[in-house]
Amino acid sequence: MNILTGSLNGKTALVTGGSRGIGAAIVRRLAADGATVAFTYASSPDRAQALEAEVEAAGGRALAIQADSADPAAVERSVAETVQAFGRIDILVNNAGILVHKPLDDTLLEDYDRIMAVNVRAQFVAIQAVQRQMGEGGRIINIGSMVADRAGGPGLTLYAMSKGAVAALTRGLARDLGPRGITVNNVQPGPTETEIVSDEAVRATLRTMIPVGRMGRDSEIAGLVAWLAGPESAYVNGAALTIDGGFVA
């Protein structure tokens, strides 16, 4: 990891679900751009601590915080711990999320409750806590999904519903927080080469459905997030930015 632009020098970010996949790529990129980065993880402390050490070895500052996003108190505590450690939060990236992919008849009410708790409620709780710490120039970036616009297949009803809620949450908050100089935007990734899609046969099928002929890279999602976190995006507010290689085109 090398320092890139320094565009986030002096900024502090909190990334939820930041120990692996897209979240870890976001942590690395924000740190490379100069931000101090706290990130949460639900399990696998070894992986989280390794990422923290990686950032610090490259000359950055990072803090791994154990917090299950399904627990509102844990989400609020992660915000408090970030402020206690670094004195401020300028950037919030709501990345933590889960996937439920089941036939409708096999879907349980518990699945509904869990996906809404992690994918939607946790974002609201984090934003409500963070916005009290933010001033002019604050950036809130929610990670949604292109399934908010096109489910793409059966079994994704709950996931699509939750990501549609993220898109609507973003639009409402852009109105609430924009007058304070805080922007709120929604990044909607398409199929990306992370652990969530580990089956190579599934990946091969997805590649045939994407106009650019490949799945996305976590570093590409992180690049878009970093731009939204930086000074050049100041007039972007309430947007849903789809990054999917043309999958929903």
Kind and range of the H or E run holding 210? none
What is the SS3 assignment for 46?
A: helix
How does DSSP assign 122-142, residue by residue?
Answer: HHHHHHHHHTTT--TT-EEEE
Which of 41, 112, 159, 235 does the annotation list as catalytic? 159
Residues 6+ apart with CB under 8 A from 103: 154, 155
How does DSSP assign 78-134, residue by residue?
Answer: HHHHHHHHHS---EEEE---------GGG--HHHHHHHHIIIIIHHHHHHHHHTTT-
Q: Which residue has the tokens 């879907």?
A: 107
Q: Is 235 a catalytic residue?
A: no
Dihedral angle of Cα 126, 168, 114, 27, to the nearest 10 degrees: -50
What is the SS3 assignment for 13?
A: strand
Question: What residue type is assigned to position 242 of the chain?
Answer: T
Whose CA is closest to 131, among 166, 90, 93?
90
Instruction: Show which residues are catalytic.
Output: 159
